[in-house]
Structure 1
Amino acid sequence: MNQNTDQPEAADHRLHVVMAAGGTGGHIYPALAVADQLRTLDPTMRITFSGTKRGMESDLIPMNGYDFAPVRVIPFSRQEGWKRYLVPFILLSSAVQSAVKFRRDRVDLVIGMGGYPSMPAVLGAWFAGVPRLLHESNAIPGKANKFALTFTQNLGVVFAEVEGHKRGSKYDVRVVGLPIRETTHAPHNNGSNRLRERLGLQAGNRLIVVSGGSAGAVSLTNAALEAASKCRSSNDTVFLIKTGGKDFDRAAEKLASLPVGAKVHLIAHIDDMNAAYESADLFISRAGAASIAELSQNAVPSILVPYPWAADDHQRHNAQAMVAKGAAMTVEDADLAQGKLAGLIDDLLSAPEVLRSMSARASTDKHRHAAGEMASWAIDLIKNRSNRK
């Protein structure tokens, strides 16, 4: 009799997963990719995102159809002034509040995707005895995940190098890649052909795409404009430079002062990044984890310019991992003003066999399956109730 009354209650329970991510798109978009796959595996699952009101997540998450539950936490940064010394107290308070909510809402699993906004949820899950799963997108774990690893043993990574950071055999560290959301787009090359036509490219033109991230990068834009005017191969080379919205007008003024022969298209934002990757003969980019995953997924040879002020210098380590496999070359941000970018572009465009080799070495399909692997892992942790670690 008791057994029968227990079964309906278990059957009626909808699985509830909390995705903890925030701060930048590099954490949020992979989290959305995993959430999409979780919904595919279990359409009845309840998925809640935890983050801060001050980050991109407060807009992106509701925009993508997921519930958003804000928490209070601030980064330990000089920009916060004296408030940064309150970080431990704010974190502990938010974690306790999260733990209470997790127990009340019967949360089955918390997935931490990195960034300081993820810390209260991961710590709160530990307080509440809820299983935890982390994902680290960079070659060097960020501060948030270094902290969070104290409270879980399950870590999915993009770079195999991170495996060296596990502490003992009890840690379950898996190289899963970077979760990328599935998109429906035209078959390969259709999008790229449209982009090349829109830019007025001829059959023999080479296209170099320059992207400094979602907000652009002034130093990268300046170096690309200089390279466009100085490259020996400029006669058949077209530059597409994404400036970001704030820097577009300044870049346009600078472009107007270049020699007439420079073939440059400025754009504040690239709406169809798939077409940009498919069209590019060479891609010049920062070395964020999402950018590297997309370059690898599309087998694009690249010149990587690590953002020098990234936390723990993780972009340099990301770039070095790509250089080590022969998929990219790198230029220091401080060297951009010295004209080194133009010389490197000339060297690569004059050696098509090198570009082909870089493309082949960049190619990987692992990121396409990363979201599915993380989602399946999450379901396994929920089902294995004894594995609350």
Structure 2
Amino acid sequence: MNDSVNRPADGAPISVVLAGGGTAGHVEPAMAVADALTALHPDVRITALGTARGLETRLVPERGYHLELITPVPLPRKPTGDLVRLPGRVRRAVRQTRHVFDDVAVDVVIGFGGYVALPAYLAARGGVRRRRVPVVIHEANATAGIANKVGARSAQRVLSAVPGSGLKDAEVIGVPVRAAITALDRAAQRAEARAAFGLPDDTPVLLVFGGSQGAASINRAVSAAAGELARSGVAVLHAYGAKNTLDLRTPEPGDPPYVAVPYLNRMDLAYAAADLAICRSGAMTVAEVSAVGLPAVYVPLPIGNGEQRLNALPVVNAGGGLLVDDADLTPRFVAEVADALLTDPPRLSAMTSAAAQVGHRDAAERVAAVALDIALSGRAARGRRR
């Protein structure tokens, strides 16, 4: 990036609004970009848009960034009462967003989809006596959502995680991932990570998780395979979700440990401790797992529009993972695939290399650089018009 990024012409901090509330899949990429923005430009002013019911109410303040709440605008896919109420919600949310833009003197908006993205895109279009605000869009999923499809029509730059997202002229850069993950050296932190979870140094470790809420079908299949896994000499680190319970057999003397926790606060250590993962294939999960080069068995969520399967395909096709339907994830399958992979170091090594080659470790920095360059260009243009 040009050195001028660190020297705004008018001396005022560059102001960036991040629109990506609702789920962790929207909030986490936004927070990764926020961290990259502050690393590139320490004086940048960052404001995150969110709603009172989204995960951002916890995640954004925890990361030290300012959060402004607006009316959520869920876009119904079927005719419901929400469709009737949609125009009023949109107008209210756009009005609220414009007030935020004015208060923070926004230079650029970065949108990630979700409940707050559409109002941000519409507010950025300006109007009578209002200047247009440049927009950068990032689409994390293999199939773009409605909000990003609308916003992409007038955005200055459109970025995506994978090819074929449905957004015209999108530049493929991967999913922004936080630095604690992208900088992770699994081999170097293996001993520390295993000690943190009470896992032995000399035993293959299977990491199991189903996203922030857990996945009941994955929990059932893996827990039921605990005996077979133990007999194969496999230790397990299993995050089952705070709202779920896990029915585990009583271990036999000398069994490798089966460490079951509701939630993993240190995913970086979990990735470093593991040799193989069984997990869902949400965009953020695939991005993190591939960025650290961890071989994985991806189990796409069996509902929705099939985007989780599409998220995993680039890694699977490259040889960095396997894909199994939720209905086919049986205890027998878990035991057999874990035994086959975890007792085959050359195959695991090849999968590690393949996953790492597909992963994008610099996506957050690339989004941040694009946004800062656009913000500075806009300032320079406004300065010339004065």
TM-score range, shorter chain: 0.7 to 0.9
Specify which of 228, 242, 253 is matched with residue 230 of structure 1: 228
| 1:297–1:363 contact (8 Å) kept in structure 2 | yes
State the shift of 1:203 in Å.
Answer: 4.7
| 1:139–1:321 contact (8 Å) kept in structure 2 | no
State yes or no: 1:73 paired with 2:67: no
C-alpha separation between the residues in 1 aligned to 2:303 and 2:271? 26
State yes or no: 1:299 paired with 2:293: yes
Look up the match of 1:285. 279
Look up the match of 1:29. 28
C-alpha separation between the residues in 2 aligned to 1:56 and 1:362? 29
Look up the match of 1:3. none
Residue type matched to 1:383 in 2?
L
State the shift of 1:290 in Å.
Answer: 1.4
Residue type matched to 1:134 in 2?
I
For structure 2, which runs of at least 5 residues remain unmatched after alignment? 1-7
CA distance 1:341–1:95, shift in 2 (3 Å): same
Equivalent positions of 1:195-234 (< 5 A) are 195-199=193-197, 201-231=199-229, 234=231
C-alpha separation between the residues in 2 aligned to 1:271 and 1:102? 33
Partner of 1:151, secondary structure, is coil
Larger fraction in helix = 1
State yes or no: 1:336 paired with 2:329: yes
State the shift of 1:199 in Å.
Answer: 5.0
Look up the match of 1:142. 145
State yes or no: 1:90 paired with 2:89: yes
C-alpha separation between the residues in 2 aligned to 1:13 and 1:202? 53
State yes or no: 1:308 paired with 2:306: no
C-alpha separation between the residues in 1 aligned to 2:15 and 2:196? 46
Partner of 2:10, secondary structure, is helix
Look up the match of 1:53. 52
State the shift of 1:289 in Å.
Answer: 1.4
Q: Which deviations, in whole Å up to 9, do the C-alpha atoms of 1:328-365 show, x marking residues without a partner?
A: 10111122247433332233234333222111100148
| 2:75–2:146 contact (8 Å) kept in structure 1 | no
CA distance 1:255–1:79, shift in 2 (3 Å): farther
Look up the match of 1:183. 180
For structure 1, which runs of at least 5 residues remain unmatched after alignment? 1-8
C-alpha separation between the residues in 1 aligned to 2:98 and 2:36? 25
Specify which of 317, 325, 343 is matched with residue 324 of structure 1: 317
CA distance 1:332–1:259, shift in 2 (3 Å): farther
State the shift of 1:269 in Å.
Answer: 1.6
Look up the match of 1:6. none
Identity, % of aligned pairs?
33
State the shift of 1:190 in Å.
Answer: 5.0
Partner of 2:109, secondary structure, is strand
| 2:186–2:292 contact (8 Å) kept in structure 1 | no
Partner of 1:384, secondary structure, is helix
TM-score after normalising by structure 1: 0.85
| 1:228–1:262 contact (8 Å) kept in structure 2 | no
Residue type matched to 1:283 in 2?
A
C-alpha separation between the residues in 1 aligned to 2:370 and 2:96? 27
Look up the match of 1:383. 376
| 2:292–2:359 contact (8 Å) kept in structure 1 | no
C-alpha separation between the residues in 2 aligned to 1:36 and 1:203? 33
Please provide the CA RMSD for this pair. 2.9
TM-score after normalising by structure 2: 0.85
State the shift of 1:105 in Å.
Answer: 4.2
Please, which moves more after superposition, 197-206 or 321-330? 197-206
CA distance 1:188–1:318, shift in 2 (3 Å): closer
State the shift of 1:234 in Å.
Answer: 3.1
| 2:235–2:257 contact (8 Å) kept in structure 1 | yes
Residue type matched to 1:155 in 2?
V
Q: Which deviations, in whole Å up to 9, do the C-alpha atoms of 1:171-228 show, x marking residues without a partner?
A: 4x32222222223999654532133235554454110010111111111111111222
C-alpha separation between the residues in 2 aligned to 1:226 and 1:103? 56
Q: Which deviations, in whole Å up to 9, do the C-alpha atoms of 1:120-153 show, x marking residues without a partner?
A: 1122112351100011112221232223223324
Please, which moves more after superposition, 197-206 or 125-134? 197-206
C-alpha separation between the residues in 2 aligned to 1:121 and 1:276? 36
C-alpha separation between the residues in 2 aligned to 1:198 and 1:109? 41
State the shift of 1:158 in Å.
Answer: 1.7
State yes or no: 1:270 paired with 2:264: yes
